[in-house]
Structure 1
Amino acid sequence: PQQGMIAREVKRLGLEDRISMPGYNREPWSAYATAKMFALSSVSEPFGNVVVEAMAFGLPVVATACSGPLEILKHGRFGRIVSLADEVQLAQAIDDTLAEPGDPEERRKRADAFSFAVRVPAYTSLIDEVLGECDRRVMRSIDTVAPSGGMSP
């Protein structure tokens, strides 16, 4: 909603050669491949697939302190976290990140932790555990109602 206003400000400041705002893209892979870093300024982000995608490309990430990026970036271990609605801190973190981007391989490994190859078995295991616990509870309740294995009167 604010892209037009931000684009005008970028132009007013003469930063068009330094800032790209391509907008929504169904196939962002080429943008990730040519980017130097990734910044996410969301006020609310329950997870943030874009953060994981950027990290999978090895990009350094700057993100606001909302739940998704905090979890993905491990509270700053794998990227910079800035306060919500603090544009000065965001700008400084972007400058710092461009100056010292860090190790792309660490970011790729962290992104792998969120891959389907890792998450599907983890979710399957969790579901099996929950269903197993449900089965055990049902069996205990049956034993309580009919301890001899027969029908209750």
Structure 2
Amino acid sequence: MQTTYYKTPIGIAEIIGDKSGIQSVAVLDENAISDKLLNLETPECLQECVSQLEEYFTGKRIDFNLKLNPKGTSFQKKVWEELLNIPFNTTRTYLEQSKALGDVKAIRAVASANGKNPIWIIIPCHRVIGSDGSLTGYAGGIWRKKWLLAHENPVKQQALF
């Protein structure tokens, strides 16, 4: 496994993977990583991930085309695969996510699997919200979820006249 770090507007992304695919993208607080680690050369197997994340954060990318290799149970992987079906600039409720997976009663299990998503942003668990529209359940903090949703749906200034 190779690791690299990439500075984003919401923290430092720690990216782990190898030629089999990206295993993890986690966002850490700014002070969690030394400048020395930030300045290390990115391993070749992770360069495309860094490039696509940079394009996402600069508004030039709305979907990712990366080989993913998350570690989890078969149920978790099924939930994460369904997350990939939520389009950019769209949200889905946990209930809608459960329905899409074929089991309305699995809402708590689906929410739990979302919370264990190891590949933040790329597998867009931030696009899942509460049935009442609340921004619940984001391991990286609600402020990051709010930031990501606003980034994907920026408010456009309307003409005054």
Normalising by the smaller structure, the TM-score range is under 0.3
The structure whose residues are more often strand, as a share, is 2
> When the two structures are superposed, what TM-score results if normalisation uses the length of structure 2?
0.23
Larger Rg: 1
Considering fraction of residues, name the structure with more helix.
Answer: 1
Q: Larger relative contact order (C-alpha < 8 A, sep ≥ 6)? A: 2
